[in-house]
Amino acid sequence: MSLILGPDGLSRCAWVGDDAEYRRYHDEEWGRPLHGDRALFEKMSLEGFQAGLSWITILRKRPRFREVFAGFEPEAVARFDEADVERLMGDAGIIRNRAKILATIGNARLVTTMATGELDTLMWSFAPEPGPRPTSLAEVPATTAASDAMSKALRKAGFRFVGSTTMYALMQSSGMVDDHVVGCHRATDATD
């Protein structure tokens, strides 16, 4: 099953299930072009925290992540120290994974060494030309040559928790690729 009919009568990609927050995220965010260094740093960070978990877990915790990670402002996160790491490790409102917390801080430090707009330009440089819309969820890949290349470039620059699967999820969620399946109500206006 690739589509699901929502309580509002709209067809959506079936991964949404019957969760209201997932419906909102699917309709308002997923697949819409996202730009800006801060926004993409946040997306990179949250996708990194998601590794090994479900996205709905991260989505439900996102408000707290934003609160404790200073709105994902790279300059603020780059100043986090060991006391901040311990504070974050003690916060049940986020994913308490030391390696992911340290990676987020380290990644913020890298972003602060880049010119304004450079992270956005770098990440979007891997957005492929639009291809055929998937007709089923089975056609949606976990990785692509583009996500492999993005992952490799980010790793070479020193970024962590940026594997190809994680970067493909980022590409989907930030609109670099449009994987709304044929028949989804967002498939007709995914470029809005």
Is 35 annotated as contributing to ligand binding? Answer: no
Query: Is 22 in the active site?
Result: no
Is 13 annotated as contributing to ligand binding? Answer: yes
Is 45 annotated as contributing to ligand binding? Answer: no
Catalytic choice (22, 30, 42, 47): 47
CA 18 to chain centre: 21
The encoded tokens of residue 32 equal 């819409």
How many other CB atoms are there within 10 angstroms of residue 110's CB atom? 17
Is 26 annotated as contributing to ligand binding? Answer: yes
Catalytic choice (15, 25, 29, 73): 25
Catalytic choice (29, 55, 73, 124): 55
Q: Mark the binding-site residues, compressed into ranges.
A: 13, 26, 180, 184
Active-site annotation, residues = 25, 47, 55
Q: Mark the binding-site residues for Zn(2+), compressed into ranges.
A: 13, 26, 180, 184
